[in-house]
Amino acid sequence: MASAILQVENLVKRYGDVEAVRDVSFTVEEGEVFGLLGPNGAGKTTTVEILEGLRDPDGGRVSVCGLNPQRQPEALKHEIGAALQATSLPDKMRVIEAIRLFASFYRRHRKPEELLKRFGLDEKRNAFYGQLSGGQKQRLALAMALVNDPRVCFLDEPTAGLDPQVRREIYDVIEELRRDKKTVVLTTHYIEEAERLCDRVAIIDHGNVIAMGTPRELKANSANTTRIEVRLARPASDGSLHKLDGVADAREIDGGYVLHCQRPPQAIVALVKHLEAEGNELVSLEIATPSLEDVFIELTGRRLRD
């Protein structure tokens, strides 16, 4: 792909007998927000750390901005920015000192004062790092990741552990990067984050890419079904819900049942009749349009955060 700024082909990474990344392949186009979506331990961070040049792969080929991260790390650092899962600075380092320090690492860099204003840290410029809230620390991490005006920015779980208000602030920053045509590689285990922010998503589980496409394409691959979540007074007989009229798929998850239906009205009527015949009762029923969560459930048989 001529416009691909990042290419991953048959990537493999092992830790002893554990294969953390298994034959992963994908490309990212310049100006795209690309998401790696999967549960904790799926191999997302390992993949990103190889792309950043922090880990060596055991197999496959990687190219970032036309560079090999393992063979050309010095050249690569001037082309990428990264906000890792955890950022830790000395408690007595001031915010402005941190940004100026990171700016000194690069051949080109943005003005620290400009970044302070962009990330709402101007009033905290002289505050010590240890005095910042969790959200302020994350905004500082993003500012440092963008200090060299990178061609590709890696954000590893950028909103993990943040409260909803701060999470929305980080979303605004990422959406601004998209408007600026910045290339962003984002790892997340939040469904709503991937759907809102990403142009394309690779769903990763146990080190494998199990699906890839735009959020709309992935949801369309869910056979245009409607999700019905039900809880019953007692467990349904084995496989009985899957056989109901209008039901394309049925899974037992978290003590309830998730039905994917192409004909929801018929499926609900069939469900009620079935429960009456078995002397069972419906405790709750929720209907929703397909989401990336449904794609993951259909492919793996469990929820993303199990």
Q: Domain check: are 137 and 119 in the same one?
A: yes
194 within a domain of the structure (yes/no): yes
Amino acid symbol at 296: F
Q: What is the pLDDT of residue 162?
A: 85
Same domain, 209 and 249: no
118 and 173 assigned to the same domain: yes
Residue 21 has, within 13 A of its CA and on its CB side, a CA count of 26
Which of 219, 250, 281 is a domain's end point?
219
Residue 129 lies in a domain: yes
Residues 157 and 247 in one domain: no
The answer to whether residue 47 sits within a structural domain is: yes
Nearest C-alpha neighbor of 274 from the set 294, 250, 298, 253? 250
Percent of the chain predicted with pLDDT > 90: 69
User: What is the structure's pLDDT at 1?
Assistant: 42
- CATH number of the structural domain spanning residue 176: 3.40.50.300
Structure-block tokens of residue 282: 């419906």
Asked if residue 135 has pLDDT above 60, the reply is yes
Q: Per residue in 75-93, pLDDT tens?
A: 999 999 999 888 889 999 9
**pLDDT(13) > 90:** yes
Q: Does 170 map to a domain? A: yes
Can you give the residue range of the structural domain that contains 259?
A: 223-289
Q: What is the pLDDT of residues 240-284, one digit of tens each?
A: 999 999 898 888 888 899 898 888 899 999 999 999 999 999 999
Nearest to 26 by CA among 39, 11, 12, 40: 11
Question: 261 in a domain, yes or no?
Answer: yes
Give a yes or no: residue 280 inside a domain.
Answer: yes
Q: Taking the mean position of all CA atoms in its chain, how far away is CA 195?
A: 9
SS3 at position 175: helix
Strand order across the beta sheet in which 18-29 lies: 18-29, 4-15, 59-64
The values of phi and psi at residue 28, to 5°, are -130, 130
Per 3-state DSSP, the chain is made up of helix, strand and coil in percentages (nearest 5) of 35, 30, 35
Q: Say which residues have a Cβ less than 8 Å from residue 60's Cβ, sequence separation at least 6.
A: 8, 9, 10, 11, 12, 23, 24, 25
Grouping H, G, I as helix, E, B as strand and the rest as coil, residue 270 is helix
Let me know: does 21 contact 49? Beta carbons within 8 Å.
Answer: no
**pLDDT at residue 303 greater than cutoff 90:** no
Residues 259 and 142 in one domain: no
Same domain, 260 and 167: no
Is the same domain home to 90 and 120?
yes
Instruction: Tell which of 193, 219, 245 closes a domain.
Output: 219
Are both 47 and 122 inside the same structural domain? Answer: yes
pTM equals: 0.81
pLDDT digit string, tens, across residues 144-178: 999 999 999 999 999 888 888 888 888 998 999 99
82 in the same domain as 213: yes
Is 19 inside any structural domain?
yes
Average pLDDT across the chain, whole number: 91
User: Can you give the pLDDT at residue 16?
Assistant: 93
Q: Number of folded domains in the chain?
A: 2
Residues in a beta bridge with 64: 6, 67
Together in a domain, 198 and 243: no
Show the DSSP H helices in 180-241 as ranges.
191-197, 215-220
Query: Do residue 95 and residue 137 come from a single domain?
Result: yes
Classify residue 301: in a domain, yes or no.
no
